[in-house]
Amino acid sequence: MLNRTVMTGAAPSIVLLVVLLMTGVVGVGEGVTVIALIIAGAVWTARRTETLTPVPPAETPVDTEPVERRILDELPDPVILLSASRNIISANQAARKLFNITEMGRDLTIALRHPAVLDAVDLSLAGSTPDPVEFELVAGVPVTFEVQVAAVPRPNDEDGVRVVVLLHDVTGTKRVDEVRADFVANVSHELRSPLAALAGFIETLSGPAKDDPAAREKFLGIMNNEAQRMTRLIEDLLSLSRVEANEHIRPEDEVELETVIGEVVDTYSNRCTESGNSIDVDLPDDLPSVLGDHDQLSQVFQNLIDNALKYGGPGKPVRVTASPVERLPESGTHGVAVSVQDQGDGIPTDHIPRLTERFYRVDKARSRGLGGTGLGLAIVKHIVSRHRGHILIESTPESGSTFTVTVPTFSQDPQDLSDR
């Protein structure tokens, strides 16, 4: 069995060669030879070590059906070959599994009934070149496919034509497009609101409140808050952009978490005095250092502690604890888990999986009122991902929430740094 990664890289060229083989445009011997060269090139590019079955010389008779079937079955995308009457002549393993095709020779509608796809097949048989078609297949988790249909003339065949139906999973691409569109819409909304407020207050100060010192002082204070809100949003956007740009580069510095956490906690001393909160830190004396980026880890704990103080409420304690972890599932190395716990209202269970999404808020009005941008936990997630760690969110309504970040410990062993 050929490596699936290798076959994926060679798939477009192989599909074309298979079609040409089936239509008789390319001879069997030379077709098999070219396919072998394509696969060999993919193997070389991917630096694989699989041994390919030697290709017989061109003059040696070759049983093409098993070759075509093996090649098609290795393709990750579903491929269906149809006759001029829309009967299924052949289908690769991915297509048979997706549509539960158990026998050949039956009409395509037995497996695929989407009207747009059937119309594309009919257009192709009529000599037109149909545009790619998208359709969603719901089988547990919805999957979106882009379907390309092409008719290939086959003069020596009784039907005179074959139709190739190629399906490509574009679910991930569609999701990225949706996230991008949502992101732009959210940024626009987040900036529009304070800008509208500023414009309104400027108009008021230029008119009715022009000679009212009390109103002027009140409105200027609100305008200052809105300007600071926009500044925080822009700073978080820039921070998120920087983190994402370097997420594939694993940090290599030795960082003392005790120092990082201590520095962050010190920055909240005045705030805690004013609000009546306390930050209780309980770290073991032998807490190992971690492999990381000092500034980014500071940002992680700043965001988590800041959220705990905001949503825990005035006068409530925030608890920070840490403990060694024997083995991280992501890397198999030792790690350190740091937890930040508040005593707030808690988070409904159905919201927890989405908390690290950009601009996602459980209570939008409350979050904005507390000065949140909706990007803090997204930044935390990406920083932790860069450190090859993970974040765990646990919460019980009315009992508070605990955010636990786990990152690998520092090691001088090069083997522990091999994952980039």
pLDDT, residue 57, reads 52
pLDDT, residue 380, reads 94
Instruction: Compute the distance between CA of residue 257 and CA of residue 389 in angstroms, rounded to an integer.
Output: 14
The whole-chain average pLDDT of the chain stands at 79
User: CA geometry: angle at 91 spanning 134 and 65, to 5°?
Assistant: 145
Q: Are 384 and 228 in contact (CB under 8 A)?
A: no
Q: What length does the chain have?
A: 420
Q: Residue 172 — very low, low, confident or very high, per pLDDT cuts 50/70/90?
A: confident
pLDDT, residue 50, reads 42
Instruction: Compute the distance between CA of residue 400 and CA of residue 385 in angstroms, rounded to an integer.
Output: 25
Residue range 96-132, pLDDT digits in tens: 888 888 888 888 888 888 899 899 999 988 888 899 9
Higher model confidence: residue 147 or residue 20?
Answer: 147
| 36-50, 159-173, 188-202, 359-373, range with the lowest pLDDT | 36-50
| 194-198, 321-325, 366-370, 371-375, range with the lowest pLDDT | 366-370
Q: Are 255 and 409 in contact (CB under 8 A)?
A: no
Residue 261 pLDDT more than 60? Answer: yes
Residue range 329-378, pLDDT digits in tens: 766 788 999 999 999 888 888 889 988 988 887 776 666 666 667 888 99
Region label for 346, one of left (φ > 0), alpha (ψ between -120 and 50) or beta (otherwise):
left
Three-state secondary structure of the chain: CCCHHHHHHHHHHHHHHHHHHHHCCCCHHHHHHHHHHHHHHHHHHHCCCCCCCCCCCCCCCCCHHHHHHHHHHHCCCCEEEECCCCEEEEECHHHHHHHCCCCCCCEHHHCCCCHHHHHHHHHHHCCCCCCCEEEEEEECEEEEEEEEEEEEECCCCCCCEEEEEEEEECHHHHHHHHHHHHHHHHHHHHHHHHHHHHHHHHHHHHCCCCCCHHHHHHHHHHHHHHHHHHHHHHHHHHHHHHHHHCCCCCCCEEECHHHHHHHHHHCCHHHHHHHCCEEEEECCCCCCCEEECHHHHHHHHHHHHHHHHHHHCCCCEEEEEEEEECCCCCCCCCEEEEEEECCCCCCCHHHHHHCCCCCCCCCHHHHHHCCCCCCHHHHHHHHHHHCCCEEEEEEECCCEEEEEEEEEECCCCHHHHCCC
Across-strand partners of 163?
82, 151
Q: Residue 383 — very low, low, confident or very high, per pLDDT cuts 50/70/90?
A: very high
pLDDT, residue 364, reads 66
Across-strand partners of 145?
135, 169
Rounded to whole angstroms, what are the CA distances from 8 to 36, 171, 375, 386? 15, 17, 36, 27
User: Which two three-digit tokens encode residue 132?
Assistant: 């790619």
Higher model confidence: residue 68 or residue 282?
Answer: 282
Burial class of residue 368 in the structure, from the number of CB atoms within 10 Å of its CB (0-12 exposed, 13-18 middle, 19+ buried): middle
Residue 413 pLDDT more than 80? Answer: no
pLDDT, residue 6, reads 41
| 2-11, 313-322, 383-392, 394-403, range with the lowest pLDDT | 2-11
Higher model confidence: residue 64 or residue 388?
Answer: 388
| Fold adopted by 246-417 | Heat Shock Protein 90 (3.30.565)
pLDDT, residue 211, reads 80
pLDDT, residue 65, reads 58
Higher model confidence: residue 398 or residue 22?
Answer: 398
What residue ranges do the domains of the chain occupy? Answer: 1-76, 246-417
What average pLDDT score do residues 314-325 get? 92
Residue 171 pLDDT more than 80? Answer: yes
| 7-16, 72-81, 114-123, 161-170, range with the lowest pLDDT | 7-16
Residue 5 pLDDT more than 80? Answer: no
Q: Give the rounded percent of residues in the chain with a pLDDT score beyond 70.
A: 78
